Amino acid sequence: MPSMGPLWLGVDLGTQQARALVVDDDGHVFGAGSAPLTSTRGAGRHEQEPRHWWAAVVDATRAALAGLRADAVAGLAVTATSGSILLVDSAGNPRTEALMYDDARAVAESVAVDDAGAALWRALGYTHMQPTWALPKLLWLLNRQPELADGTTRLCHQSDLITARFVGHPVPTDASNALKSGYDLLQERWPEEVFTTLGIPPHLLPAVVRPGTVLGRVGPDAAALTGVPAGIPVVAGMTDGCAAQLGAGCVGIGSWNSVLGTTLVLKGVSAQLIHDPAGSLYCHRGPDGTWLPGGASSCGAGAVAEWFPGADLADLTSRASRSPIGPMAYPLLTRGERFPFRALDAETFLLGRPDTDADVFAALLLGVACVERLCFDRVTMLGAPTHGSLTFTGGATRNEFWSQMRTDMLGRQVHLPEQNEPALGMAILAATSSGRSAKDAVATMVRRRAERTPNPARTSELTERYAQFLEALTARGWLDNATATYAVARF
């Protein structure tokens, strides 16, 4: 174990667990802990009991700090799921259950939100606000319990509840979490005219600061419960997707993080706001004033689990790697695609006739690689810079054959970090309280475990299959001609 300097605590509230990670200025992990969370689901509903969040954070943090000096930690930051909200009283105590990030009951409210703020949403790069976004859910809560609009109630995002507990009193929210609540990232203000039209009182809205701002310091009560030193700074965090991007080291202009888990998610860095007329891509703000364009496909590694439940994936990979490139699939998890194009009628298809289950497996991997390349062609066409470093993260990086296929398909060098979780991103953001920029903190705290270099011959071969993929999408009417033409021109 390296010698111990200042340590930084990152806390991540996910859907199923709270996670705490303690790292030093060189990215070495000194402690980690977790504690479970439970949900109530059904018919578009997804709720959690917010009081359980703090109990889980206490358990996770104490586990992460076990065996460390009492004064070892020098700062902390918190991330949580994007769009998860509740209402609290003036002291920060919950007045409602928490509506989680994928609670989809605010359908009618999302229409009202679109009508009230259409011009602003277009300026910010959204075509509309989905029912799962925070602002429609806020309106949904108020429509069902209008008494909650009294002068003592305030909107609270998931991470806000935890930062308030650490500090000992309510604190501002961060602009990253406020995005789905309707915050104007261009003017850096709440658009009161939109909220007035919706009948939402301005007093419900918390103050907003940029990620990385010091919100306050850990109070004695929280210190006694968690073991975190009293008096250390609590730094405003970001949503979980942005935190993972930071943890992957994706902070420089033109750098991108491609996350392949159940679905494929791309997050990049730009000096300017990137507009997507289709609304498939939208931007957060980075801790250093940059813009963070990102989009999520409806395909990904989840298709492998769906097509091959309980299969020996190592055996499938071994056999697929010994075979020439064969059939190709477009493996959607559900009907409809959202990025790199929007097509409500898109569905899984298979090009070619597979002879074995290994051929089908390889077809899924190849299809996702094609979607990933199309994502990069699309964001480049929209004006997003893509010249910086590229990082692969997500569970699919454990499959080296697939990672190399994706590298060859893109024809560019790829970095794989040692750690890539949202809690690390928050430890990095906490470290900025010492005066460093996020970019400087990333330079020492994000450790790489591997790099992949493309094989030019393989890239050429895969490009031919990518061309067939584009033709198939265009023939089905899903991919617009402008994007297809641009992608072909980049061969």
pLDDT along the chain (491 residues), means of 10: 80 96 96 96 96 98 94 97 96 96 96 96 91 97 94 95 97 97 97 96 96 98 97 97 95 96 95 92 93 95 92 96 93 92 94 94 97 97 96 95 98 93 96 95 93 96 96 96 93 88
Beta bridge partners of 266: 258, 295
- Using DSSP's 3-state secondary structure scheme, residue 489 falls into helix
With vertex at residue 490, the alpha carbon angle to CA 409 and CA 480, rounded to the nearest 5 degrees, is 95
Q: Which residue has the tokens 């850990």?
A: 218
Using alpha carbons, list the distances in angstroms from residue 197 to 53, 79, 107, 131: 33, 31, 18, 18
**H-assigned helices in 99-239:** 107-124, 134-144, 158-167, 175-178, 192-198, 220-226
- Which pLDDT score, from 0 to 100, does residue 334 have? 87
- Which pLDDT score, from 0 to 100, does residue 2 have? 55
- Which pLDDT score, from 0 to 100, does residue 267 have? 97
Please give the Cα distance from 207 to 213 (Å, whole number). Answer: 12
Which CATH number describes the domain made up of 250-419+455-489? 3.30.420.40
Distance of CA 317 to the CA centre of its chain: 28
- Which pLDDT score, from 0 to 100, does residue 3 have? 52
Q: Are 7-240 and 250-419+455-489 equal in CATH topology?
A: yes
- Which pLDDT score, from 0 to 100, does residue 151 have? 85
Structure tokens belonging to residue 296: 């999520």
- Nearest one of 278, 270, 399, 402 to 342, comparing CA atoms: 278
Beta bridge partners of 8: 23, 75
The CATH topology of domain 7-240 is Nucleotidyltransferase; domain 5 (3.30.420)
- Beta-carbon contacts of 50 under 8 Å, excluding residues fewer than 6 positions away, are 86, 94, 97, 98, 158, 161
By the 10 Å C-beta count (0-12 exposed, 13-18 middle, 19+ buried), 483 is classed as buried
Please give the Cα distance from 41 to 15 (Å, whole number). Answer: 12
**H-assigned helices in 290-356:** 302-307, 313-321
Question: Per-domain residue ranges for the chain?
Answer: 7-240, 250-419+455-489
Distance of CA 238 to the CA centre of its chain: 9
Please give the Cα distance from 103 to 295 (Å, whole number). Answer: 20
Our CA dihedral for 332, 238, 102, 91, rounded to 10 degrees, sits at 180
Our CA dihedral for 443, 375, 264, 247, rounded to 10 degrees, sits at 10
Structure tokens belonging to residue 483: 């994007």
- Residue 76's φ and ψ, nearest 5 degrees, are -145, 160
Please give the Cα distance from 215 to 448 (Å, whole number). Answer: 31
Please give the Cα distance from 30 to 44 (Å, whole number). Answer: 40
Structure tokens belonging to residue 88: 């609290």
Please give the Cα distance from 180 to 16 (Å, whole number). Answer: 22
Q: pTM for the complete prediction?
A: 0.93
